[in-house]
C-alpha cells in the first residue's frame, strides 16, 4: 500500500499541503500529516493544523514525502537538521520527494536538486541556483524528475496539479476523481474565462 507524508512547518501555505492530503485521502492513499517539530502547526494565514505525528525516523518508510511552501514554512523546513538528514537518506535510498512554491529551497539546501529538473515560486530559483548550480529550472506548472525522483510545483494556484501529479507518479489513476472534483473542467476551461 502506498504511503505518503506531508510535512507541515509553522508558516506553511496551508492550501498547498492540505490539497495534497485531501486528494490522496480521496484516492484512499495512506497520507499522514506530519508536523516538523510539534503536532499543532500555525500556518502562514493562521489556520491551525493538527498533524497526525511529528517528524521522526519513520519518514524513511514513506513512498513519498511532500513539502508545502510558504516562505516562512520553507525556511523552517530548510533549516531543520533532523529533517535534512532524513531527506538525504531518503534520496540515497531512491525514494520520491516533492516540494512546491518556496519549499524547493529546502531540497536545494539539502543538495537534492543538484542536476535535477525542478520548478518553484518565481524568484526562489535564484537561491536554489546558488546551492545547486547544475539544477535545471523550468516554468512548467509541475515538474517530475524521474531520475532524481523529485516532483516540484509553482505556487498556491498549482496545488491541485501538484496533488494529482503526486498521485499519478505513484501509479494511481486520478481520472475519476479529477472529474468528480471538476479539476478536469477547470483545466480545460481556465483560459476561456480569462
* Domains (range + CATH), the chain: 3-193 (3.40.50.880)
C-alpha cell at 188: 480545460
Residue 22, C-beta contacts closer than 8 angstroms, at least 6 positions apart: 163
Q: What local confidence, expressed as pLDDT, does residue 119 receive?
A: 98
User: Could you tell me which of 168, 149, 171, 170 has the C-alpha nearest to residue 160?
Assistant: 168
Q: What local confidence, expressed as pLDDT, does residue 187 receive?
A: 83
Contact 92, 58 (CB under 8 A): no
Residue 157, C-beta contacts closer than 8 angstroms, at least 6 positions apart: none
Q: What local confidence, expressed as pLDDT, does residue 186 receive?
A: 87
C-alpha cell at 49: 493544523
- Each residue's pLDDT, cut to its tens digit, for the chain (194 residues) gives 999 999 999 999 999 999 999 999 999 999 999 999 999 999 999 999 999 999 999 999 999 999 999 999 999 999 999 999 999 999 999 999 999 999 999 999 999 999 999 999 999 999 999 999 999 999 999 999 999 999 999 999 999 999 999 999 999 999 999 999 999 998 888 765 54
Using a 10 angstrom Cβ sphere, with 0-12 exposed, 13-18 middle and 19 or more buried, the burial of residue 26 is: middle
Amino acid at each position: 500500500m502506498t504511503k505518503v507524508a506531508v510535512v507541515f512547518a509553522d508558516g506553511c501555505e496551508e492550501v498547498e499541503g492540505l490539497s495534497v492530503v485531501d486528494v490522496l485521502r480521496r484516492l484512499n492513499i495512506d497520507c499522514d500529516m506530519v508536523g516538523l517539530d510539534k503536532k499543532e502547526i500555525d500556518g502562514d494565514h493562521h489556520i491551525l493544523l493538527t498533524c497526525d505525528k511529528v517528524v521522526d525516523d519513520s519518514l524513511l518508510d514513506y513512498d513519498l514525502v511532500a513539502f508545502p511552501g510558504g516562505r516562512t514554512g520553507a525556511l523552517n523546513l530548510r533549516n531543520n537538521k533532523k529533517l535534512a538528514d532524513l531527506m538525504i537518506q531518503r534520496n540515497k535510498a531512491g525514494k520520491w520527494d516533492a516540494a512546491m512554491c518556496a519549499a524547493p529551497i529546502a531540497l536545494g539546501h539539502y543538495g537534492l536538486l543538484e542536476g535535477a529538473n525542478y520548478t518553484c515560486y518565481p524568484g526562489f530559483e535564484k537561491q536554489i541556483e546558488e546551492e545547486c548550480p547544475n539544477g535545471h529550472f523550468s516554468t512548467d506548472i509541475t515538474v517530475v524528475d524521474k531520475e532524481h525522483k523529485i516532483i516540484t510545483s509553482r505556487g498556491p494556484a498549482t496545488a491541485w496539479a501538484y496533488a494529482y501529479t503526486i498521485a499519478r507518479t505513484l501509479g494511481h489513476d486520478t481520472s475519476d476523481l479529477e472529474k468528480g472534483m471538476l479539476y478536469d473542467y477547470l483545466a480545460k476551461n481556465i483560459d476561456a474565462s480569462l
